[in-house]
Chains A and B, each alone.
Chain A
Amino acid sequence: MRKLMMAGISASILTAVAASGASAQDLIFPKGEGAFSWDALEEFAAAHQGMEGQSLSIWGPWREGGDQEQFVTVLAYFEDATGIDVQYGSSENYEQQAQIDAAAGSPANITILPQPGLLADMASKGYLVPLGDDMRQFVSEAHAAGDSLVSLGTYDDPDGNATFYAVPYKSDLKSLVWYSPDNFADAGYEVPTTLEELFALQDQMVADGNTPWCIGLGSGGATGWPATDWMEDLMLRTHSPEDYDAWVSNDLKFNDPKIIEVMELFGSIAKNDEMVAGGAAAVGTTDFRESPLGLFSVPAECYMHHQASFIPSFFPEGTELGVDADFFYFPAYEGKDLGKPVLGAGTLATITKDSEAARAFIEFLGNPISNEIWMAQSGFLSTLKAANTETYGNETLKGEGEILLQATTFRFDASDLMPAAVGQGSFWSGMVDFVGGASAEEVANDIQNSWDAIR
């Protein structure tokens, strides 16, 4: 009895912590209004009748004060359509928690994570439930660059067979260069459409006595990661997607001449005092959140800033996107036949405890409504072709969404795919050493050594 009572109490405490999310709540956009794909929602609801009262637990990366509010508004439509009761939970170190819950045998039905590398690890331990051929077929056809996304969600099962486990939901776009249209107009610069033009433009800026770039790698314990995005974008523009994949899997060694070439290309910008605001020494120590501010200072400290779609959150207050600040696609070489590669990141949803409701939810994520509801709010880019781009909350999101849909090659952030010891360890610190003066060979060897040390 005592035990029961204690269990009851601790359970009620736990639910109070974890389930402060989805409960019966009003739908944020009234059904039938706007450019939303309401028909698709109706179809989905019609196909999932008789599930009232079932419950579904979801564990994901979006926390209170971050994107949890938006995700909960999406869940409300799922609950409304199916009558399923959804419990959403997250925590500061949700990645570790997801892994630990799975290892302990008490995972959520659905686990959503932004690191395919971590999911691959979980798949190899048998924590994930295969989604089946139909779902794989669906993702490959319904999403832009669908095949890239299928391979992103395909991992080896415990027996080493490649199996489809995860569907994409919510993307971030990294291949962006931010600039001030006013500054460009004043100096007479044009937005470059090829990488050749971009390199010519930066030389022009230097010749004019201007500084082309603001680069800041500082990010507390994660210092160095912005440089890994640079490396990845340049990698996709100088070598084939196959080479990129081989790099991620370490079939192409980190100290391969191809990688060193890319690193030196990055070095030709970041390690050149004339190319970066504050000189090369400032690159490693400037905080990535502070770095874009140089675009807006008078006179401009720099003219361009390479960063993902989230960065406007750190622009000065009152900056109007499209007017005071805008972006262009980080262009590809005209002279190389590598198409329009896009570097991105995003979250992937998997089933960690199978149920009818879990299957329904995975299907729901492929329904345009699940994307549009969030697109209409903020910070959500969709690769789903059926999702109506008219629903994007603003022009900036819409423009980014279009870049994503036009991509011929979509590649996921390599550092998130590499083993954590490299992708969230030696790659970061190696890039800090590199801009700090170490040679590309030295750094590449160090990173490869740390990779060899993993088993």
Chain B
Amino acid sequence: MTDVLQQILGAAVAVAVALLAAVAYFWVSNWLLDKTFGTAADTGTGSARNDAIRGHIRPWLFMFPALLFLSIYLVYPVIETVRLSLLDNASVGFVGLDNYIWAIGDDGFQRSVFNNIMWLIIVPSLSTGFGLVIAVLADRLWWGQIAKSLVFMPMAISFVGASVIWKFVYDFRSEGSEQIGALNAIVTGLGLPPQAWITLPVWNSIFLMVILIWIQTGFAMVILSAALRGIPEETLEAARIDGANDVRIFFDIMIPQIWGTIVVVWTTITIVVLKVFDIIFAMTNGQWDTEVLANLMFKWMFVNFDYGRGSAIAVVIMLSVLPIMIWNIRRANAEEGTR
């Protein structure tokens, strides 16, 4: 118990010190800047020039800590990963593109790519779809807010936590013994034999996707719900006066107006899906053909300790996330711009 207290105390102190340090940095650097390139009150000369210099330097000064940490924790690791991916397992000899060529021919890699594509198609579409439907329908119910809170709640659960919960849903006990898994309890209750759900290839991947959909639907719902609120009431009224029914309004009036938001939600979930690791790691560790790229990378990196192949897979993941990410940011910027 004292250990926990000590940790909490340590963390609180660290946060406070970091905050103070950050404030001190901005204040002191700003003061120094003003001091160095201040407008000299006595002469009045060169003040315009100094103003211009200050204007040029200040943004860099303020961005410097962020740039520094981004370089250390983001840019440098990316460069290092690319470098490692061109070296052998112990990062000693240069092997060129061998690691990538190996990956293309490797069964495990191919299966992971296939599974990732399945995840990419199914999870973002269903999460966004469910999120949208719930956002629209919940607004019409008196208990809509409660429903929305419940749907949003899984967002607060970590992926590993969610996996543990769903392990109990999919748990399997041999036929005849009492089923503690919710799904098998239902199945045996209906008089059917219990199934070891997470060992049935293809279906098991879908059972794992359900976990992520369960988590991400809340995210999609909240963002889309906000977007729906932003739709001008007049357009809906005009449609109603013109005699459009609810389905027609939904597809022809609402969707086109929030299309930009739908796309952003979709791509955001897509990026989450490309990086999905925790669920696979906790549920199957890639067995029974459920392997995905991120877990495969972890295995080669930290189980097999082949830094070359692990890094090559990491680079593949990064390259596949990159275009979606750039597009997503552009899209988000454009959204901002129109407002």
Contact = CB atoms under 8 A, between A and B. Distances in A.
A121 B287 contact: no
Interface stretch (A3-11, A143-151, A369-377): A3-11
B233 interface: no
Contacts of B173: 287, 290
B96 interface: no
A181 interface: no
Contact of A13 (B11, B18, B174, B299): B11
Contacts of A287: 172-173
Given A16-B3, A420-B304, A432 B10 contact: no
Interface in A1-50: 2, 5-6, 9-10, 12-13, 16-17, 20
Interface residues of A, number: 41
Interface residues of B, number: 37
Interface string B304-326: 11100000000000000000000
A424 B17 contact: no
Looking at chain A's contact residues, is the secondary structure mostly helix, strand, loop, or mixed?
helix
A421 interface: yes
Nearest to B7: A16
A362 to B, nearest CB: 25
A293 B175 CA distance: 14
B3 A9 contact: no
B88 A20 contact: no
Given A20-B3, A221-B281, A286 B174 contact: yes
Interface string B6-26: 110011011001100100000
Contacts of A6: 14, 17-18, 21
Interface string B270-286: 00000000000111111
Among A20, A93, A99, A220, the one with the most B-chain Cβ atoms within 10 Å of its Cβ is A220
A9 B3 CA distance: 15
B174 A285 contact: yes
Nearest to A125: B90
A222 interface: yes
Contacts of B174: 278, 282, 285-286, 290
Contact of A429 (B21, B282, B287, B299): B287
A232 B282 CA distance: 28
B333 interface: no
A20 B6 CA distance: 12
A285 B196 contact: yes
Contacts of A100: 302
A453 interface: yes
Contacts of A428: 287
A292 interface: no
A290 B3 CA distance: 36
A2 B284 CA distance: 45
Given A285-B199, A419-B304, A454-B304, A223 B21 contact: no
B88 to A, nearest CB: 7
A241 interface: no
B106 interface: yes
B89 A455 contact: yes
Interface of B: 3, 6-7, 10-11, 13-14, 17-18, 21, 88-90, 102, 106, 172-177, 196, 199, 281-288, 299, 302-306
> Which A-B residue pairs are the 7 nearest by beta carbons?
A221-B285, A285-B196, A13-B10, A96-B302, A420-B303, A421-B304, A16-B6
Given A290-B174, A420-B305, 19 more contacts: A6-B14, A12-B10, A13-B10, A16-B3, A121-B305, A218-B172, A220-B283, A221-B285, A222-B285, A223-B199, A284-B196, A284-B199, A285-B196, A419-B304, A421-B303, A421-B304, A425-B303, A429-B287, A455-B88
